[in-house]
Structure 1
């Protein structure tokens, strides 16, 4: 340590007034946390004036507020002032903590005022300001007076306040960062509240399953959200309080799309929810091979884990959509008509003037098509059939437009649109889709069971089949003639039929249209029968559970079906079921409540879904802009609370359950008491 300090016994006359000859900056001890670099002054530095020193970057003082005041403890150099040798005293550090000492300049500075310099006022001179800020002060004789005076100045006090404010800001952050932190904390609390309400809603659903039927049907659909994340939406269907319940459970984010990954994610989700896969008695997905394949798909893996027949039911809403898609692909005229309607929609969409012209004529907006929603196509075809003349009138108006491109587009649309064949196909499609739309809407009912659905499909097939009758076509043909006459579209006559067509057996014009449209009407009948094949053992069992069926409560079939499920296999259950089947055939209609086992088995048909309505709804509700930046957990919670308002709405009326759950999630400074 001695080599860092000058001996105390050094006599005053041995001390030279030349700072550089006494001090070696490399041998100085600094008892401060800040790192300082001391630039030594060479022996010829006496020739360096103060202005040149000020141009130097004095590195032996604190450079930022993050560094503490530099207060070295050394044998300070002495200078002759008023005939006496005087020097700086280290004791002044404790008396005035804001002092900084520069070895290079042998002068003191004000730490606070250097980093937070005041603005000059009229009463202040440059000398006073520069003394403790820029040039330093080295008049050791009068330093006490100066420090006392400086400490009481408003500029120094303001600098101290600014420094303390800076320290506070450093600890707690700036006002904007504090506000941001407060917002972040609020967001965390809000999401915790959402999660709490979501968890309580899920618990309520699981409780209903356990207290009700104790078995459920699984409904899953895949989709990609706005942020391009693959996910599955999961719903279940069960009976509670003698009512069919269909509930949305949540989303599963997918990293892989193979069958094993999908199955693992589904099982993990059900386990976390509190549902036993062994209680799953049926499953409904779309027709993708990874979901519905016969050997290594999700449905086969779920069936193996469930350890019961757990039949797979292809979503009937998807089946119906596939029927219509195939009709469009296989019947060229239908595809061309739909393309023509899309072209008219595109023509009016590119200009507000065109849009206004069509709206003024029809008083309605032209419906937009959607490839996956045939309801939109039905609305579009119905619109064009109803407003055929008005649309054609507007197109004729734009045909005379001064804009060559607009006129050319309108003329091209008129050439394709103003045909009797177009009207006939529109009328036929409108009739077919009107029937199909009724089925589509009913398939989206959450209270529809598989037996009722089967009856609806059979009725729809019958209606479509009836369209092939000649009498029905004459009705549609007459409608087409009326529309054509009102729109000034020429109607065909027998002379318009070519000799080639006449030779094929069309003696009249109506016969020609009957022949040309029969194939189109036949295609949809074939597709309906192919997609909705109701034969098989599974549908035979459903007939046994249907009161309108001739096989209602057939004992042998029903007992055989019950034995396929582990929870119905007991001998005691089968014996009681046989007795109830025998009595139920005559008494069930008036005394159904007496046969609790029959009711339990019959509930099975209520679980079997013919659609994925809630899954479709869960994929469509959150399709908004902020979904691309929304976390999956928050999206899941919001969707669950939105869809299951029947349960989550109870927490709005009585939030005590949410508050109690929120309070125990983690330790909080506030006590949540009601």
Structure 2
């Protein structure tokens, strides 16, 4: 009996208590009420963004979920806690659950079936250590519910379950650790969204670079009214494409890819891919040439700019390869920096057939200049060519300033420009133009620069076209109340209203008509030795046949139109008398006699100026550099010595080209069947040559076309530098300036860059927290 009693007590101890039906009867008349909390989101305070590989040592993936009590109205993995807002039933003690607990403890979920609450993280991810009351059984005792929940909220098992739930949620987005470590794994949608965002950023950066406008602003805070072009354009795009804004808002604050450092990295990647494009073109070219020059930027830094010239698919290409800062201006430093710019391209130095610079001694010196040092550094086939445009500028500038009469003429033009440039006078000048030419846009007078002959050409052209308006404006200010203004206007008016001034003005206007087309053609990237020879020959012919009678006739028409009667300004200063022995002589330099008292004497001076120009042309273009001009001339079908082997000897030896006689004969016959009028330049001939049939002839023509005749490409690069690095952007680093300039100069490449290649380069630069 005692034994049976003891056994009964033991069984009773382990026997599960029966659930009182009354305590858990749910009223069938549930009434839905307005919810207190409609949705709750658990924020995940991660220190890194989703692209960081997440690893939790305490997370056991084999036991990530707990045994879940079978209750139909509780949440599942990935769902929010079930938090209904109903009229909750009361238990025997008259107590019931309230919705206000949802706000205090977001993990609570309520079961209508059991009239009990559970902890969602512990129920789903608590494992064997979870507190049974909140994970499997459910809490239905509402006494001191707040204390019980607070105690559970701070328990170790609950916090571990919450962390496990967060990790599980992140794994659903980016995969497990095993998948992240698998190189074949990619979350295509997530990566695609990131890349789309980065492509938008790249579009804005490329746009700003092409337009030479700054990216950053002085104040880029959210309260700023002008955050800079980059952020303002991004906001503008967001107004018309909601996906842009959504992507930015969805990214963590430290991974939005909008910071100045990210901009610099993206610029580096853009410039790198652009240079890779240039490299791919020049690598397949049979030869190339180097162009270089120096410039000082807005921060007083001396920069060396360089470009490459080569032939790609039958077209001449001149591509910028970058800028580099110079600490010294000696030939050694310049040549070292130039080689440093060329190094990333990994080009064969022996394929370099030319180097084009200006005529400064540090560049052109045959012993210690840059050209000599480059040959010593392995570029031994790189023939130095002095820029043809520079040489022509030197010819015209030197001859124009040699005579005091000519110099005085340009001084008057400059004084007139300065007078008209004052605000009040300029306004009157524009009004006069609008009266005389109501349907034509008003012209501004140009100011000449001695280093740019083209600026003098523009100055003379504008002066001739608006000469009547200039006279009217000066006449108005000749009666001005201000004595200084009136005196200056009358003085200029007296100098302009002379037949001598008009004659010189018309003379230079016609001279520039002859030389301008030559100057502009020399500045083109397609300029070759043959085209320069043709243009120079045409210019020489025009100068030899210069028609002074037309100049005099035109001056007489203008003099009658503007009622100009005096040949010269009355001069009270005693004129120096020219010795009799010099009166009929012609010299290449002035002897001090600068005054011409009539048309005949003035014509003598102007004819002498033409002869001086011809002499300068012979001096600066007559010297044949390494037989290049002679070879180029005999390679044109119109030449009487077409492909004369003796004429080609110097060039053939320089570049080790041995053209067989039979190949020359067959090629002559081949060209004879072509229309000679369509073969005016070396490029025209090169286009019809079959490389496989005439290999040596093809190489010869490629070399002649590749040899540069002008370094104006680098001059145009400097123009971009001045537009980009202004006074307001003078603190820009040389590296950033270089990248912006490349995108600005080579716009045609920048527009076609593959952004996927740019993103791959950006991705490989360093470890990114942004999954790409």
Q: Normalising to structure 1: TM-score of the pair?
A: 0.67
The equivalent position to 2:488 in structure 1, one of 374, 398, 409, is 409
Aligned to 1:607: 706
Q: Secondary structure at the match of 1:282?
A: strand
In 2, distance between residues paired with 1:209 and 1:370? Answer: 36
The equivalent position to 1:300 in structure 2, one of 367, 372, 387, is 372
In 2, distance between residues paired with 1:485 and 1:233? Answer: 52
Aligned to 2:259: 186
Aligned to 2:66: none
Distance of aligned partners of 1:327 and 1:564 in 2 relative to their CA distance in 1, 3 Å threshold: closer
CA RMSD of aligned residues (A): 3.1
In 1, distance between residues paired with 2:567 and 2:339? Answer: 63
How much does 1:178 deviate?
13
Are positions 1:664 and 2:736 aligned together? no
In 1, distance between residues paired with 2:660 and 2:667? Answer: 10
Is the Cα contact below 8 Å between 1:225 and 1:627 reproduced in 2? no
C-alpha distance after superposition, 1:60-94 (max 9, x if no partner)? xxxxxxxxxxxxxxxxxxxxxxxxxxxxxxxxxxx
Are positions 1:511 and 2:608 aligned together? no
Are positions 1:479 and 2:576 aligned together? no
In 2, distance between residues paired with 1:512 and 1:209? Answer: 57
In 2, distance between residues paired with 1:519 and 1:488? Answer: 29
How much does 1:372 deviate?
2.5
How much does 1:190 deviate?
1.1
How much does 1:618 deviate?
0.6
How much does 1:560 deviate?
5.7
The equivalent position to 1:585 in structure 2, one of 665, 668, 680, is 668
Q: Of Structure 1 and Structure 2, which has the larger fraction of its residues in helix?
A: 1
Distance of aligned partners of 1:178 and 1:669 in 2 relative to their CA distance in 1, 3 Å threshold: farther
Is the Cα contact below 8 Å between 2:628 and 2:651 reproduced in 1? no
C-alpha distance after superposition, 1:471-502 (max 9, x if no partner)? x1111001111112212211559xx9x9x99x
Tell which deviates more after alignment, 235-244 or 299-308. 299-308
In 2, distance between residues paired with 1:178 and 1:356? Answer: 41
In 2, distance between residues paired with 1:434 and 1:256? Answer: 41
Distance of aligned partners of 1:307 and 1:515 in 2 relative to their CA distance in 1, 3 Å threshold: closer
In 2, distance between residues paired with 1:255 and 1:534? Answer: 34
C-alpha distance after superposition, 1:226-261 (max 9, x if no partner)? 111111110111011121111111112100111111
Aligned to 2:616: 527
In 1, distance between residues paired with 2:394 and 2:651? Answer: 31
In 2, distance between residues paired with 1:342 and 1:409? Answer: 13
In 1, distance between residues paired with 2:747 and 2:459? Answer: 32
In 2, distance between residues paired with 1:530 and 1:318? Answer: 14
Is the Cα contact below 8 Å between 2:529 and 2:704 reproduced in 1? yes
Are positions 1:545 and 2:635 aligned together? yes
In 2, distance between residues paired with 1:261 and 1:656? Answer: 38
How much does 1:556 deviate?
4.9
Aligned to 1:374: 453
The equivalent position to 2:479 in structure 1, one of 387, 400, 404, is 400
Aligned to 2:736: 634
C-alpha distance after superposition, 1:309-348 (max 9, x if no partner)? 4221101111111112212320212211111111111112
C-alpha distance after superposition, 1:153-194 (max 9, x if no partner)? xxxxxxxxxxxxxxxxxxxxxx97999997997111111111
Tell which deviates more after alignment, 229-238 or 389-398. 389-398
How much does 1:216 deviate?
0.6
Q: Secondary structure at the match of 2:730?
A: helix
Is the Cα contact below 8 Å between 1:358 and 1:365 reproduced in 2? no
Aligned to 1:197: 270
How much does 1:578 deviate?
4.0
How much does 1:562 deviate?
3.2
Distance of aligned partners of 1:577 and 1:637 in 2 relative to their CA distance in 1, 3 Å threshold: farther
In 1, distance between residues paired with 2:317 and 2:550? Answer: 43
Aligned to 1:252: 324
Is the Cα contact below 8 Å between 2:319 and 2:746 reproduced in 1? yes
Is the Cα contact below 8 Å between 1:267 and 1:277 reproduced in 2? no
Aligned to 2:530: 451
Distance of aligned partners of 1:389 and 1:557 in 2 relative to their CA distance in 1, 3 Å threshold: closer
In 1, distance between residues paired with 2:640 and 2:446? Answer: 46
Is the Cα contact below 8 Å between 1:388 and 1:487 reproduced in 2? no
- Count of residues in correspondence between the two structures: 481
In 1, distance between residues paired with 2:507 and 2:643? Answer: 42
Aligned to 2:544: 465
In 2, distance between residues paired with 1:353 and 1:299? Answer: 52
How much does 1:426 deviate?
0.2
Is the Cα contact below 8 Å between 2:307 and 2:319 reproduced in 1? yes
Q: Secondary structure at the match of 2:290?
A: strand
Aligned to 1:621: 720
Is the Cα contact below 8 Å between 2:527 and 2:710 reproduced in 1? no
In 2, distance between residues paired with 1:490 and 1:560? Answer: 60
In 2, distance between residues paired with 1:399 and 1:560? Answer: 66
In 2, distance between residues paired with 1:204 and 1:577? Answer: 36
In 2, distance between residues paired with 1:178 and 1:282? Answer: 56
In 1, distance between residues paired with 2:701 and 2:508? Answer: 39
In 2, distance between residues paired with 1:455 and 1:545? Answer: 13
Are positions 1:343 and 2:415 aligned together? yes
C-alpha distance after superposition, 1:272-321 (max 9, x if no partner)? 33333332111110010010012111111112223534221101111111
Distance of aligned partners of 1:341 and 1:320 in 2 relative to their CA distance in 1, 3 Å threshold: same
Structure 1 unaligned blocks of 5 or more: 1-174
How much does 1:386 deviate?
2.5
Q: Normalising to structure 2: TM-score of the pair?
A: 0.58
Are positions 1:276 and 2:378 aligned together? no
Q: Secondary structure at the match of 1:401?
A: coil
Is the Cα contact below 8 Å between 2:477 and 2:489 reproduced in 1? yes
Q: Secondary structure at the match of 1:524?
A: helix
In 2, distance between residues paired with 1:533 and 1:559? Answer: 19
Q: Secondary structure at the match of 1:446?
A: coil
Tell which deviates more after alignment, 307-316 or 389-398. 307-316
Is the Cα contact below 8 Å between 2:529 and 2:629 reproduced in 1? no
How much does 1:520 deviate?
2.3
Q: Secondary structure at the match of 2:613?
A: helix
Distance of aligned partners of 1:188 and 1:414 in 2 relative to their CA distance in 1, 3 Å threshold: same
Distance of aligned partners of 1:202 and 1:320 in 2 relative to their CA distance in 1, 3 Å threshold: same
The equivalent position to 2:431 in structure 1, one of 341, 344, 360, is 360
Distance of aligned partners of 1:479 and 1:176 in 2 relative to their CA distance in 1, 3 Å threshold: closer
Is the Cα contact below 8 Å between 1:270 and 1:277 reproduced in 2? no
Matches within 5 A, 1:7-406: 186-213=259-286, 215-306=287-378, 308-350=380-422, 352-362=423-433, 363-406=442-485
- By relative contact order (CA 8 Å, sep 6+), the higher-ranking structure is 2
How much does 1:550 deviate?
2.4
Is the Cα contact below 8 Å between 1:389 and 1:486 reproduced in 2? no
In 2, distance between residues paired with 1:430 and 1:644? Answer: 35
Structure 2 unaligned blocks of 5 or more: 1-219, 228-252, 434-441, 585-594, 675-687
How much does 1:602 deviate?
0.9
Q: Secondary structure at the match of 2:527?
A: coil
